[in-house]
Chains A and B, each alone.
Chain A
Amino acid sequence: MSPELQIALQNAINGLLLGGTYALVAVGFSLVWGVLNVVNLAHGSLVMLGAYVTYWLYTRYRLDPFASLPLTGLALFGFGYPLQRLVINQVIRASFLITFLLTFGLDLLVTNLALAAWTADVRAVTTPYSGRSLALGPLALPLVRAIALLVALAGAALLQLLLTRTRLGSAIRATASDLEAARLMGIPVARVYALTFAIAAATAGVAGGLISLSFPIFPAMGAGYTLIAFVVCVLGGLGSVPGAFLGGLLLGLLQTYAAAWLGPNFDNIVAFSVLVLVLVVRPAGLLGRTERFRG
């Protein structure tokens, strides 16, 4: 294998592994946006909280980060439900500027309370198996990130099953497509909204847990992930789990190759150039269904 090919393939592996994490960050964001019509700017702070829950469970109680993921998800579910029911629900029918500002304010609150509670110190979850990688011929497959990709895939698959095969899923999809009709059919829409948000918070928490294994943890880490979730949604099309997943993988690949070719300091430029290009040239997203956002 020529060195060029080896580097290109290794970048593909790294990009897909990065993309898996992006995908899991984005599915919950996409769900909330698609169902509640809320662009949740506090989504990244939920990812941050998930990372901290995993970190504390590992350092305080020696719970393996992968084994504690269900607990992390549950904790964020418990945080997300009242957050939607009591706070976000108060502005749910207002213009997008209002919901945008509310979630920005929530993000500011959560981030700064985390800063006050846990300081700005950068932390990391380092397990005995953290540095290990599997050899695939001349290529390396980092163990932790490979498992993270599998977990992300499993999480997304579970979410897709929930949305398509359960009564709750039918209620969520019905509420998303027509709020008033769903209400007339006897669906408790306020509870459906809160459950949807809580499920999204749980996926964000699990994504944060996975991120804590490979990336630094600090209170302000969330903002970057919120923006990534947005770009992924635009790439993959709104409100579909497979779309968000493919969009995530695509963005992971794009950023990894861009870093290899242009240098590591151009990731935002690449991501947002792609974002603006897709918004302008292909309004429905690269993979998504039609949605009107031109004005």
Chain B
Amino acid sequence: MTAALSGTARRRLALALALAVAVGLPALTNTYYVRLATGILMFAALACGWNLVGGYAGYPDFGAAAFLGIGAYTTGVLMARAAVPFPLALLAGAFLAVVAAVLMGAVLLRLRGHYFAIATLGFMLVLQQLAANLELTGGGSGMNLPVARSFTTFYYWMLGVCALAAAAGLFLPRLRVGYAIAAIRENQAAAEALGIAPLPYKIIAYSGSAFVFGLVGGVYAYWFTFIDPPTVFNVDFAIQAIVMTLFGGPATALGPVAGAIVLKSLDTVLTTVSIFLHNVFFGALVCLLVIFAPRGLADLRRARGGILAALRAALRENRI
């Protein structure tokens, strides 16, 4: 029966099936696996969010955790100090993340390459140190949030954020904004010659990414019920999102989700084996990935002449 369907229809069917399985998952398994799945969805959402600015716009944000931290702390402060209901606090956090992205983006997005990457990292470290020195945030000792009644709800929150982020990646390339952003990524000078003012479009991509990171931060804070500066303003969130995006294919809608599912599952297995080993493994994986598959695993599959030939070609491509 599937043979009768066109490629697009088949892809839509697969997507609907995956979504149905995702929605039904908590009813099918126990809390341990729901918790694992929540973690995978969290990183899938981060990877999709990072992909908006790092993949589609080609501006690799190494300080994306700045927005996760803003979302987490806004949600935390509003819930713990002002008893604001969670959904409202979550939205406020994501909104503040977008405001920060617009303000900082107007400055940082004028830089490029290494300079953009490090400046974003610096911005995140500044926020980390601020959070560690302010009274409102509880300083270096962190802050506690109210404990939720059910942890399955977090699964659905993360699923919602992830679906939103993936949908953004799915629809962006079909919108006028998406064409402008792609043009800027491919050749900014040429895009400018066509009358595209680059900065506003880059800010849109950066803000979209910040919105997703802000949402994830808010859900994360309520889920873990405790946050402190080094755990939420953590460079690892950006790095993991980058590696997952690269693994699955940057500037594709579902590549980052696939990357997150594969890598997070692998990571979970390795963490149960050894906590040291899992970091060593992650380091080695990053190295191997960029050496042998700098454009992602999906790209290797498409290569002619089999995987081995593709690996050899990737190795030859970038060395002198």
Contact = CB atoms under 8 A, between A and B. Distances in A.
Interface stretch (A4-12, A132-140, A265-273): A265-273
A102 B125 contact: no
Contacts of A179: 320
A116 B280 contact: yes
Contact of B110 (A90, A234, A269, A280): A280
Contact of A104 (B133, B279, B286, B320): B286
Interface stretch (B111-119, B144-152, B154-162): B111-119
Interface residues of B, number: 47
Nearest to A37: B114
Contacts of A109: 280, 283-284, 287
B30 interface: no
B319 A91 contact: yes
A143 interface: no
A293 B287 contact: no
B188 interface: yes
Determine which residue in A106, A267, A276 has the highest number of CB atoms from chain B within 10 A of its CB, and name it. Answer: A276
Contact of B126 (A90, A110, A269): A269
A269 B315 contact: no
Contacts of B122: 227, 231, 271-272, 275-276
Interface in B116-175: 116-119, 121-123, 125-126, 128-130, 132-133
Interface in A106-134: 106-110, 112-113, 115-116
A97 B59 CA distance: 9
A96 interface: yes
B283 A108 contact: yes
Contacts of B210: none
A265 B283 CA distance: 30
A147 interface: no
Contacts of B290: 91, 94, 98, 101-102, 105
B112 A275 contact: no
B258 interface: no
A105 B294 contact: no
B318 A112 contact: no
B152 to A, nearest CB: 34
Nearest to B276: A116
A109 B115 CA distance: 24
A294 interface: yes
Contacts of B320: 89, 92-93, 179, 189-190, 193
A91 B119 contact: no
Contact of B315 (A90, A96, A266, A268): A90
B287 A266 contact: no
Nearest to B288: A105
Given A94-B294, A102-B286, A227-B121, A113 B108 contact: no
B118 A39 contact: yes
Contacts of A105: 282-287, 290
A115 B285 CA distance: 18
B78 interface: no
A193 B318 CA distance: 14
Interface stretch (B13-21, B238-246, B260-268): B238-246
Given A102-B286, A116-B276, A275 B318 contact: no
Contacts of B284: 105, 109
Interface string B63-84: 0000000000000000000000
Interface of B: 60, 62, 107-108, 110-119, 121-123, 125-126, 128-130, 132-133, 188, 239, 242-243, 246, 276, 279-280, 282-287, 289-291, 294, 315, 317-320
Given A87-B287, A113-B280, 18 more contacts: A33-B114, A87-B291, A89-B320, A91-B294, A94-B294, A96-B117, A102-B287, A102-B290, A105-B283, A105-B286, A108-B286, A112-B283, A189-B320, A190-B320, A234-B115, A266-B133, A268-B125, A275-B122
Q: Which 7 A-B pairs have the closest CB atoms?
A: A295-B112, A105-B286, A108-B283, A272-B122, A109-B283, A105-B287, A94-B318
Interface of A: 33, 39, 87, 89-98, 100-102, 104-110, 112-113, 115-116, 179, 189-190, 193, 227, 230-231, 234, 265-269, 271-273, 275-276, 279-280, 293-295
